[in-house]
Structure 1
């Protein structure tokens, strides 16, 4: 056997044996055992000409085309100018070949929904990198964190910190152990090493573990035995950066560049290796939402005489408002035409002046990735794999607050033995937060360092009552070091030396009292094994069993978790599953699975699934499934204990939440809001009357029952419980004439003990001691604290959705896909839990493309629409307006050098938009790349 380190070129022409005329668009693919699970090949052009890169010989080619019989030829070396003659034959046989190219029969009759993207589809997607290709699949939501990181989700409850969606690369869980979710693809493969991406929407807990409630993204890389040689790619991009420039073409002034390479080889087909690397560097998307989400109009982004309570989205430090009740002088005319002076109460909310995000961070972004693997064939079918992945990133993300990742590192190391009958895998994930810091916490510390809230609000109120000037004069005095000698300082102004020096001190400190830096060197250790058994072969067509064990070792020095000095925290869990399938008859398949899991902090949980698929006519299948799954609270939901400045995020374990003594001592935030709304509505009603006089104190007393009903009782926060889902799904999939694919999926998910957050306010005085004083304190950030506690819903939560797909490919090769999704949530309005559904009720995707518009030219365009929806998160709540996005990519191939030039743009209509409230604004984005890839 001849082994090649570099791919070699095979070229030729496909003609009709009968007429010698060219056969346009014939399919030329490699066949054999090593290509059983993947497609490697090309299509001839309109003149029947083709060029194919092959890395090793001998090889068998299969040539097919509609109206001709398939033909196989063997090659022992690279050849050019091949003339391949096809014999005219039955069209039906060849339609089956095209059916396999569009969708395999195995995919058609799959008991679960699987969306698969091949190398060709990933390469030709209208996006800057392959990872973004999934956004055009049906039902997919993406939360754009930055130019480096996107968070993928399906079936609702989208978030920047998606805890219900799992992501894998070659079997390795992609989550950062200290965060509990995957940071996009910062440590994953580059586009040069990706072979396929599979998206499995919905609950898949039986096989992928108890965290896979919303879906799984499974990425597979290229094996060095099959893909040998050198590949490289360079890209450049420009971002539309001017917020006032809404022209169709807006190249902007911010730039981004990326370079990547891959090299793979094998020795005597026994030992293979590969190395990959990529560097991305440039300017990030910016979070510049300056809308006011407090009282008043959205455009009121500065304090004014009519609104002292603005709360701007990407301002930090102005989040919590204080309710001030003050007497004011009024001079209504009397009956004699003279004036009389009197006092009456008024009440209004006041916030402090925060800092813009752009004053606190720089928007430089970088992602460095290195990975490699060694593959040893122990037997022809058994392979030992040792692989390592390394990623380092500096960028912005949105978690429970805005986070500036700085020199953030993730390492993953894997050892695996695998063949077609069994798999044994062990890996570890290690993260290091580097110089990462919390932006909101930074702003809070700088504001409180100058003057604490308690002093600031007290001064503001006293100065206002004393008539020391208008609102601006009062605010300026409160923002100053007044009174002298008190130790207070004037508000630090951005751009000054005092501001910059204090900022540097705060972001370098991990002290929970006055620092913003995040220390996180958490670890994850995982082992698993699975085997396909031959037991009960007379009944089961397949029978697979598996088991896994995992340990989390968080290390944050108390900045994130409860692992302060002297309190080491670890968490251990393990589980096992069995999955079997049975053919009921020639047209009906049934599948069942069972999983059992145990976490050291919770009782045993189980997940079950049963599904059936029936062929109702050739290439047309219906399926149905019923699943009951349980999700264990993850490491964050158990042990989180992070002070963000204006609030504290608290895990749900009793030993974590009990330290804050919330039972009988705190209010539900929703109850406080209802209380304030009731008082505000009554004040407005009275003041609208002639000579209306308001006694705010009496109104506060009248509505105290609202707050009393919202006191945290002893039946709350007694320990978080696993979340349960019962999911029912039916699907229809039909392939017509091997060209048109129709698909429809309907699902209903019923959740019990849904895990979200319960928001509470704790005043300095217990409401059981003095309810009136506690109410006053709860409305002042200087005399109360805010907590978001991981908790279970009191009532059931139901989500439902409908997904439709039409995918057609013409005889000439043009592909058109339209898919749409409808989704909604049903929740009891009395439930205090905030679920964060964060999903548009309507999504529509359109794509149109042709890989061979001409001999070497191809292109694709896509258009996406999302309806408006509400966004809820620990960071900020708000309304995301509906938006649409248009993307395109054009590809010019240079076969003689295995090269391709690509030019494209994302959001080329320049509709400034965001898909996560409080996150970055996505502007027009254009890119140009050149790649050398023999595959």
Structure 2
């Protein structure tokens, strides 16, 4: 690999030197001014038009002085010049010139006229065969969200799982997750996923708000174009070209956030502070070479995850162990997850066993017992930071061919939710890219790496602190024996939490004590798989791709594009996460090929077909296809339909997982990875064990059936052993994980009515197969095939059994559907009103516990109202969102996410003399308590003030 990388670097160096010395191009340069007054028209758009550019967008923007520059290859050419508030103009250029003056006539505007602006919807967008949601420069600058990335939540059909101020997992069309494996994200063509995680960590390594030119979100399966994993959609971020956007710009933003007790009053200033500083500088050295550099830092106090509701037996409001409930399991409490199922003395009418010690009665009962864990706030601090640097060198090899060398670096400290809660501490991602791009072809190579820094697993930390005082096996045995001896629940728990017997164990560590703090530091800095919580992950990926638009004759296809790609994953965890132990290096290679063609059948009907094949070294060749038709019903009114297939190849974690996270082991789905644990015939499905325990508990506690007479627990168990026998892992189980599959049918209607209002209706139905989830099993020390009853006793004791979560495929199919509605209107004066609604549900559900949760509100509603020209200097935007309640299911926790609505606003005041803007805004200003994924932090209200200089 080192040799190959050296060759790649040498080739890149030669290519760069060649670019730098390339020949001088023919140029067109000039200035755009206002007719009669000759006043410069700042930031006018100059675009090449004509048949050769019918399906492309090639042009530049003038600077603040109205000056522009274009490098041309051939003449004559025709330019179209547009600017807000001016009538567009077409200019024909026969030869190179450097002093061209283009005059634009101001446009008379009537206040009552409303039209959809060209920037919001073009003719090409109206008849696009796929749905594309866009946020352009204007949207980004005027969003009411705290940052531009958060603004995607206002797009139709989008779901967001908020884990931190800086980390939002974006998804579309169902099966949302905090580890969004089915949704891909790209920055200038680079997949931004962390190689060892298999998903993008929001925008911690991406561009800052000053460098973003365009965000495009494509919902639904897009595998045929963007590769395996583009299952639920993709988010494309395009940054500004330094040739087109030059100069210095910076933003300073401060925000207050409420991190303590939630205040229900409107407009409550928080008790904590966040700062966000961004800077961008770009310059064209000459007409061939330009560069840009960007940097930003966000720091402060993050959202807090303080949901201590009980998800164990009993009521959710129960927070502490009591005579009534010994099985408390808090959502954001760690170390209390494993429950032991015991036969304990039945309580005597609620008598406190401290003051009255009963003897075991003839009527024993079944209890679930957990240890006392630690709240998340006792284990972590909620400091948040995101530091980013990136830069790019652009070299024009010819007027239409550009070489780009770019590097990105991002470092973050924040909390995220995966299979457990994870504290990212100085977690870093870096990306390096070399690319040659042309309107006819593209060649791109890049590498992505990650460094886990001082990150640690919070769940494992809590579990290790609990067991450091007394191992589970000893604690539960003491608790059980003391109860059977008649000591009672309270005394038994209190004694088990002490160092008894002296010299062997330690007292329970109390949060905040020096002993607790010292032990915590030892654990979060240890990589011992049985004790330490520190995460070591230095995984990398290497990627190459190339695509070309080929002319095959207009009698066949108007557009024909094909491309290839190859990727190598190199997981590196020293055996702490993957199976990459010493002497067992792990890599994973995959490659693919795609073809896409468009044919105009007649003046009203256009068809697009695409196909793709992919090969991963651990799976057979797989293929995906898409066929779409677009028909123009009448001018500016289009109907489209498409049928497409998509797939997701298991990522490196789902293939090679081998991680001990305290109370369980995460195992990848490849057959050699699972086989090392010998689960077939030797383990139970946890769902079967839970069903058995619940059945026995319900029967034994049924006073109407047994009254106050004697009860034989063993007889009840024997009567229900068939439940356990059905849950023993079959010999044909875990014989190799398979790729996920989706088939999607989508119908859409899009109309621009009377050049004033945009309407859109979309219906889709998705059929999923081979869903990847986790099969949850428990393996006792004794095989159930040898002694079923002894295996049962051990499986119910956390000290004598181990839980495994194995990546696996669901055996049943599932069908979902959705309906999306859009109404959007924008005035020439800058007033915009937009509303979109989404309905989504499951048509055919299965009872397979492995199927991931749909995790999507049945109904979503977004409304925005804004005007960036309320006066000469003042602009404003208000956004309101509603989400209905829904059920959340994940490997971390299951529960209900209540419905909520939230209101955001922003006011912008321009200072044109110093090229600056001041913004004041607030998010969740109604102070509605909310969280959008179960077990993640509560999203509080916060208010911000920013100053921006030089942003274009």
Give the TM-score taking structure 2 as reference length.
0.90
Partner Cα distance (1:331, 1:176) in 2 = 56
Call closer, same or farther: CA 1:384–1:689 in 2, change over 3 Å.
same
Alpha carbons 1:95, 1:738 under 8 Å: kept: no
Please name the residue that 1:62 is paired with: 82
Please name the residue that 1:503 is paired with: 520
Please name the residue that 2:369 is paired with: 350
Q: Which deviations, in whole Å up to 9, do the C-alpha atoms of 1:314-350 show, x marking residues without a partner?
A: 0001112111102458699xxxxxx999522111111
Aligned to 1:378, the other structure's residue is in SS state strand
Q: Which deviations, in whole Å up to 9, do the C-alpha atoms of 1:895-929 show, x marking residues without a partner?
A: 11111111111111111211111111110011110
Call closer, same or farther: CA 1:579–1:341 in 2, change over 3 Å.
closer
Please name the residue that 1:476 is paired with: 494
1:421 to 417, 436, 440: 440
Matches within 5 A, 1:350-429: 350-429=369-448
Alpha carbons 2:42, 2:64 under 8 Å: kept: no
Matches within 5 A, 1:887-926: 887-926=904-943
Q: Which deviations, in whole Å up to 9, do the C-alpha atoms of 1:868-914 show, x marking residues without a partner?
A: 11111121111111111111111111111111111111111111211
Please name the residue that 2:788 is paired with: 771
Alpha carbons 2:35, 2:106 under 8 Å: kept: no
Please name the residue that 1:762 is paired with: 779
Partner Cα distance (2:31, 2:771) in 1 = 57
2:599 to 549, 572, 582: 582
2:154 to 128, 136, 141: 136
Q: Which deviations, in whole Å up to 9, do the C-alpha atoms of 1:165-208 show, x marking residues without a partner?
A: 00000000000000100000000000000000000000000110
Alpha carbons 2:60, 2:68 under 8 Å: kept: no
1:29 to 44, 48, 54: 44
Please name the residue that 2:816 is paired with: 799
Please name the residue that 1:654 is paired with: 671
Call closer, same or farther: CA 1:558–1:186 in 2, change over 3 Å.
same
Call closer, same or farther: CA 1:716–1:53 in 2, change over 3 Å.
farther
1:105 to 118, 123, 127: 123
For structure 1, list consecutive stretches of 5 or more residues without a partner in the other structure: 43-50, 333-338
Shift of 1:11: 8.3
Aligned to 2:807, the other structure's residue is in SS state strand
- Counting matched residue pairs gives 901
1:463 to 460, 482, 493: 482
Aligned to 1:585, the other structure's residue is in SS state coil
Please name the residue that 2:464 is paired with: 445
Alpha carbons 1:843, 1:864 under 8 Å: kept: yes
Call closer, same or farther: CA 1:154–1:88 in 2, change over 3 Å.
closer
Shift of 1:828: 4.8
Partner Cα distance (2:744, 2:902) in 1 = 32
Please name the residue that 1:46 is paired with: none
Alpha carbons 1:102, 1:739 under 8 Å: kept: no
Please name the residue that 1:676 is paired with: 693
Please name the residue that 1:336 is paired with: none
2:338 to 320, 327, 336: 320
Shift of 1:536: 3.7
Please name the residue that 2:16 is paired with: none
Deviates more, 1:411-420 or 1:677-686: 677-686
Q: Which deviations, in whole Å up to 9, do the C-alpha atoms of 1:542-568 show, x marking residues without a partner?
A: 000100000000000111111111211
Give the TM-score taking structure 1 as reference length.
0.92
Please name the residue that 1:178 is paired with: 196
1:271 to 289, 293, 314: 289
Q: Does 1:735 align with 2:755?
A: no
Please name the residue that 2:571 is paired with: 554
Call closer, same or farther: CA 1:828–1:120 in 2, change over 3 Å.
closer
Call closer, same or farther: CA 1:38–1:406 in 2, change over 3 Å.
farther
Q: Does 1:115 align with 2:130?
A: no
Call closer, same or farther: CA 1:633–1:331 in 2, change over 3 Å.
closer
Alpha carbons 1:662, 1:712 under 8 Å: kept: yes
Please name the residue that 1:865 is paired with: 882
Aligned to 1:100, the other structure's residue is in SS state coil
Aligned to 1:112, the other structure's residue is in SS state coil
Please name the residue that 1:48 is paired with: none
Call closer, same or farther: CA 1:38–1:854 in 2, change over 3 Å.
farther
Shift of 1:13: 9.0
Shift of 1:12: 6.4
Aligned to 1:458, the other structure's residue is in SS state helix
Shift of 1:242: 2.8
Partner Cα distance (1:250, 1:835) in 2 = 38
Please name the residue that 1:256 is paired with: 274
Aligned to 1:446, the other structure's residue is in SS state helix
Shift of 1:722: 1.3
Alpha carbons 1:102, 1:738 under 8 Å: kept: no
Call closer, same or farther: CA 1:119–1:685 in 2, change over 3 Å.
same
Aligned to 2:327, the other structure's residue is in SS state coil
Shift of 1:65: 6.0
Please name the residue that 2:21 is paired with: none
Alpha carbons 2:116, 2:758 under 8 Å: kept: no
Alpha carbons 1:64, 1:97 under 8 Å: kept: no
Please name the residue that 1:225 is paired with: 243
Matches within 5 A, 1:565-644: 565-644=582-661
Shift of 1:400: 1.2
Shift of 1:825: 2.5
Call closer, same or farther: CA 1:149–1:53 in 2, change over 3 Å.
farther
For structure 2, list consecutive stretches of 5 or more residues without a partner in the other structure: 1-24, 71-78, 351-357
Aligned to 1:445, the other structure's residue is in SS state helix
Partner Cα distance (2:851, 2:741) in 1 = 17
Shift of 1:651: 0.6
Q: Which deviations, in whole Å up to 9, do the C-alpha atoms of 1:700-745 show, x marking residues without a partner?
A: 1111111111111012111001111111111111111222111111
Q: Which deviations, in whole Å up to 9, do the C-alpha atoms of 1:823-867 show, x marking residues without a partner?
A: 122555442313122111111111111111111111111111111
Partner Cα distance (1:490, 1:191) in 2 = 51
Aligned to 1:102, the other structure's residue is in SS state coil
Partner Cα distance (1:143, 1:109) in 2 = 32
